[in-house]
Every structure is written in C-alpha cells, then in structure tokens.
Amino acid sequence: MKATMATTDGASVAGLSGVAVVTGAAGGIGAAVARALAAAGVPVALLDRDVRALWDLAGELEGAGAEVLAVAVDVTDSADVDMAVAKVEADLGPVHHLVNGAGVLHAGPAAELTDEEWQATFAVNTTGVFHVSRAVSRVMVPRGRGSIVTIASNAAATPRASMAAYAASKAASSMFTKCLGLELARHGIRCNVVAPGSTRTPMLTALQGDAAERASVEGTPETYRVGIPLGRIAEPAHIADAVLFLLSDRSAHITLHDLTVDGGASLGA
C-alpha cells in the first residue's frame, strides 16, 4: 500500500528528511512513532508481522495524506528482512532513518522460563534488531548519512523480577546498537537507544491487566521495584517524541546515547 503526499514541509521543520523504516509498526510504541513521523511529513515504511493491524495503520495514515508503504515481515528471518529493505528502497526511496520497535515480552520467574520463551524473546528483541540494523546500515553506508534508534527498555539497566528474558534481550540490543554506532560513526550514521519505562500499551496491560498501571506508578516493594516519581505511566506519544528527536538533525551531535524515558522510575540508572 502506497500513497503520496504533496508536501514535506513538516519534515524540514522537524529536522527530518528521507524515508524512515519502523519495525513493530502495527501497534503500541511503534505505531505512535509511525504516526509522529507521518505527521512530520516523512515517508514511512511500516514493518510488522501482524498483517491485519499493519494494513489498518497504513490505511489510517494514507487517509491523512501520508506517504506510506506497508510490508509484512518477520524480523527473526534475515532473508525476509533483506527482501523487505530492498522493497522499501525500490518502492518508497532511500532509507535515511530506522526505528527498531519490534518487541515481545515473556514474563515469569527466570527458573520457570521455557527454552521456547527464552529463544522467542531473543529472536525478536535482539536478533531482530541485528537483522534489520544490518540490512539498513548496508544501504546507509554508501550514502554517508543515516540515523538508527533502537527502542529498548529501562529494564535493560535496572533488574526486574519476572522479566529476566526481556531485560537481558533489551540489554543485548542496547549494547549492539552502541557498538554498531561506534563502527558507523565514520560514515556519518548515528545510532542511539530510547529506553522507555512503563508505557500505556497492550504489552503493559498483558502483564497484570488494569492493575499493571497502578503497580507501576506506586511500586511493588516485595519485588524491590520503586514507583514512578512523576506519578504516571508514559503515553506512547512521549516515547515517540524522544525517538523523533534522536532521529532528527536536532540531535546531530548525539550518538551512542541511551535516553531513558520512564518518569524517573529507574532513578537515573
């Protein structure tokens, strides 16, 4: 699905230009990032394996006049990813921005996690970031420009009970992104991390239902988890704002950075 938009004034105002690729675009933070980029006039490639939600979002953005391309892809499959990036380049244009937003969460005590849960978590949250970042960086390098943002988690630096697989996978993807950024800096490509805390998404609700938000804000002393000093959880748009800043020329001298957006929940860790 592709639609054109007559103006890109929003892109210049936001310090953004060129095509953006967003993985995990069909819902949650990924969808918020895609909407924000489209509102800024940036052509957006929407990548996700949830085909129905992907087409719904593409239709929504198309209806608002955005230039979008929806591509169903499994980020755990490197060949699938390579074909998706090639399609974006051919159908939408040169990729200048990447947001690694695809993620899964399998919660539970570390000793009770199954092999399948552990492997599935790393397959998406870590290996998926590797596959997409590798494919996109290969087309960015010859152009001598680009910006990559990986959406990780404050759990990557702050231990959380029942989140061992998720936290470990996010820590790995964060460090991968920074190592990649070190290698790509000489090519004019910046790589940064946004680490959200509790955010109002289906992933949070899936943890404990409506009680998850209250527990996040108030804290759970029995699991050594402090609450959120600002007294509220994040909205997906709050995370999207941080992502767009790091993608844009407004952060032109920032790379290898980890920007935590959690209302103070990790106490600055």
Query: Which pLDDT score is estimated for 48?
Result: 98
CB 261 within 8 A of CB 234: yes
What local confidence, expressed as pLDDT, does residue 4 receive?
Answer: 33
CB 41 within 8 A of CB 64: no
From the list 35, 148, 177, the residue with the least C-alpha distance to 85 is 148
Architecture label for domain 10-261: 3-Layer(aba) Sandwich (3.40)
Task: Name the active-site residue from 154, 166, 236, 262.
Answer: 166
Q: Which residues of the chain have pLDDT under 50?
A: 1-13
Question: For 219-239, how does the pLDDT look when each residue is reduced to its tens digit (9 = 90+)?
Answer: 999 999 999 999 999 999 999
- CA-nearest of 126, 184, 174, 134 to 154 is 174
224: annotated active-site residue: no
- What is the distance between the alpha carbons of residues 189 and 178, in angstroms, rounded to a whole number? 12
Predicted model pTM? 0.93
